[in-house]
Amino acid sequence: MSVLGIDIGGTKVALRAEADGVEPSQLTFRWSPRATASEDLAQLAAGVAQLVRDLPTAIRSVGVAVPATVDERGKVAVWPSRPSWNGLDLGAALRSTFPDAVVRWADDGDLAAVAEAEAIGERDLLYVGVGTGIGGGIVLGGRSVPGPGRGSCELGHVVVDSAGPPCACGRTGCLQAIASGSATLRRATSARGLPVSFSDLREGVLAGSPWAVTVVDESCLALATAVASVNELVRPDCAVLGGGFAADLPGFVDGVEGHLRRLARPGHPVPALRPSVLGGLSSLHGAIALAAPGGRAGGR
């Protein structure tokens, strides 16, 4: 049996196919800028066709990690990174793209948490993924929460500073508006007075440049604040920090951990913080888990 995992991002898509008797194959592509949802789906179908053409058997099950906010009817309520998807009937679109396969989808942060928990053998875990945006997931007792039919863990929209910058969701001070990769780069550009790419920020951190160090520390504090707040509610045994931005920025995990330790209070220790085992592929591996027989990661 062949299964396919898809991690849909705001700027790129990662695909992974697994089949009995052959090595897994992966492919990544970037979305065409300013494309419509229909054009995106056509590009997705073309990428899948390229990936699976040499598989020994047809794809029978597909798991999809989705970052968009999806309502109870299965329609995309809002996705700031790809606004052309707003209003899209996600379930219908995926079934149309994969008419011969069972298709399940779930929030990318929830799936990343499941994958990380499986990778380290942990039944109680908080996952935080820092990339273009911020995703999150909670696993308690080996199960993703809130759980199927009850929405997703929107950690990126936990308010960590009510007087903070505006978020694309319409509120102010959301974690995503402060500590995401895109938000961090915006503040770095303002602090430096010049456009800042990720490479510029990384070099600035390594060189100890004040504009870079200060901006990154602000993001680390916001992330630690969110983790400490979630800890007050669900007491995970550990917290995992992942996502491409977090993985590739030197000292980022240590910076969050330092602030998190300072936020502990007597009788209420904070969870151990560790870097992601799966790096930027957490959601993709979660999508594979969703596609596996029985859909052990939940989903719809």
Over the stretch 11-30, which tens digit does the pLDDT of each residue have?
A: 889 999 998 888 899 999 99
pLDDT at 153: 87
Contact present, 217 and 104 (Cβ < 8 Å): no
One-letter identity of residue 142: G
Give yes or no for residue 295 having a pLDDT over 70: no
- Model confidence over 75-93: pLDDT tens digits? 998 888 899 999 999 999 9
CA distance 179 to 225: 11
**Could you give the C-alpha distances from 103 to 61, 95, 156, in angstroms and in order?**
6, 7, 26
Give yes or no for residue 72 having a pLDDT over 90: no
Q: Which of 59-73, 206-220, 255-269 has the lowest mean pLDDT?
A: 59-73
Q: Which of 12-16, 210-214, 279-283 has the lowest mean pLDDT?
A: 279-283
Token pair, residue 226, equals 């969110």
pLDDT at 68: 87
pLDDT at 121: 94
Cβ partners under 8 Å of residue 33, min gap 6: none
pLDDT at 300: 62
Q: Which of 48-57, 185-194, 261-270 has the lowest mean pLDDT?
A: 48-57
Cβ partners under 8 Å of residue 97, min gap 6: 41, 44, 45, 48
If phi over 0 gives left and psi between -120 and 50 gives alpha, with beta otherwise, what is residue 238? beta
Give yes or no for residue 283 having a pLDDT over 70: yes
CA distance 248 to 266: 33
For the chain, what is the mean pLDDT?
92
Token pair, residue 15, equals 């695909």
Binned at pLDDT 50, 70 and 90, residue 258 comes out as very high
Give yes or no for residue 100 having a pLDDT over 80: yes
pTM of the model: 0.89
CA distance 182 to 179: 8
Cβ partners under 8 Å of residue 74, min gap 6: 89, 90, 91, 92, 300
| Gyration radius from the chain CA atoms | 19
How many CA atoms does the CB half-sphere of 142 hold within 13 Å?
Answer: 2
DSSP 3-state assignment of 89?
strand
Percent of the chain whose predicted confidence (pLDDT) is above 70? 97
Average pLDDT over residues 197-206: 97
pLDDT at 53: 86
Q: Where are the beta strands (DSSP E) in 20-118?
A: 25-30, 59-66, 69-70, 76-78, 102-107
Strand partners, 13: 8, 29
Token pair, residue 270, equals 């904070």
Binned at pLDDT 50, 70 and 90, residue 294 comes out as low
- Model confidence over 162-171: pLDDT tens digits? 999 999 888 9
